[in-house]
Amino acid sequence: MHIETLAIHAGHQIDPATGAVVTPIYLSTTFERSSDGSYPQGYDYIRSNNPNREALEKCVSQLENGAVAAAFSSGSAATMSVFQALSPGAHVIAPNDIYSGTSLLLKDILAPWGLAVTFTDLTNPDLVAEAIQPNTKLIWIETPSNPLLKITDICQIAEIAHQANALCVCDNTWASPIVQTPLNLGADLVVHATTKYLGGHSDVLGGVVISKTENEFFQKIRKIQKVGGAVAAPFDCWLVMRGIQTLPYRMRAHSENALKVAEFLTNHPQVEQVYYPGLKHHSGHEIARKQMQLFGGMISCQVKGGKEKAFAVAAKVKIFTRATSLGGVESLIEHRASIEGKGTKTPENLLRLSIGLEHPDDLINDLAQALE
């Protein structure tokens, strides 16, 4: 089936009890046993499983062309589960411009636990190969990266990982399975913050890990999900499932709007640099063309005049909302360095834009008056 059809039907079924076309929300925390102590319906306790969570996992695994998936209460919990499935002493290679939340997990939580981490430029395969150690177990890809939208060649990095008998994991949050499918390009696992494009309406928190195969490593992730208990709530799963049904059409509009805004910013005299892989001058444009069907809805730009000018632009917008997060129908703007805080490597004059579904001319006019 085509992706548009999968987005609407994968994981959905007619309710056998009522014939309801929309899947009910199953809020029960526990389920009845048979007289022999078994669970004939396959559910025993909400932390172990739930019909809504099971439906979401089936849906997302199909969208990403994976075998199985595990849904979590947040994108960070999903990310954490992948690293926790490794053993203390394992070595991980990660991007030097990785999402700040993942960087904090690796440095402040997992390094003291015993995980060794090397941060390097994943857009340079030679540097990645040089970073391989005898105990390297996993290479973490984030493409496009946050917030500089660097593009990593998933096929090349997956090959390097597999030559070292390591896993290749891709955070596909910014792209979504509509824009790129890393499992088809050699990755072993994909991670999403379902809070973003999959949910699509800035009203639900969640995360998911999808595996290409149902292997021993994924079973460790599943056990962490069940025993650790950071599971996605039934209503949250239901909201994400609802959002996914319009995902293909939303991503097309996000991408179309973003390209128009990026082209406007590129030609504006008050803008120093624009980061968007859909622009032909972007350093990763050719790789993006190869592995992405669209270029996504995220843009970063550096404005002339430093930090003060960046704050002034963000203060003057009227349609864009000054807020963190991304992937919703509304357009957002933020001064990324101040969000990341102490130790950030993000330029002080950089603004990150999540381009929503408003008319692109209105978004361009809003930015034009703010940049005056």
Residues assigned a catalytic role: 47, 99, 171, 196
Q: Enter the DSSP assignment of 33.
A: P
Find out whether 137 and 94 touch, Cβ atoms under 8 Å. no
CA pair distance 5, 128, nearest whole angstrom? 38
Cβ neighbours of residue 33 under 8 Å, at least 6 residues apart?
Answer: 39, 44
Q: Annotate 47-66 with b (16+ C-beta within 10 A) or e (fewer).
A: ebbbbbbbbbbbbbbbbbbb
Cβ neighbours of residue 274 under 8 Å, at least 6 residues apart?
Answer: 262, 265, 266, 299, 300, 301
Helix axes 360-371, 247-266, angle to 10 degrees: 30
Q: Are strands 350-354 and 298-303 parallel, antiparallel or unpaired?
A: antiparallel
Find out whether 303 and 309 touch, Cβ atoms under 8 Å. yes
CA-nearest of 159, 140, 133, 136 to 98 is 140
Cβ neighbours of residue 322 under 8 Å, at least 6 residues apart?
Answer: 314, 315, 332, 333, 334
The count of other CB atoms within 10 Å of the CB of residue 343 is 9
Strand order in the sheet with 116-120: 68-72, 207-211, 189-192, 167-171, 136-142, 91-95, 116-120
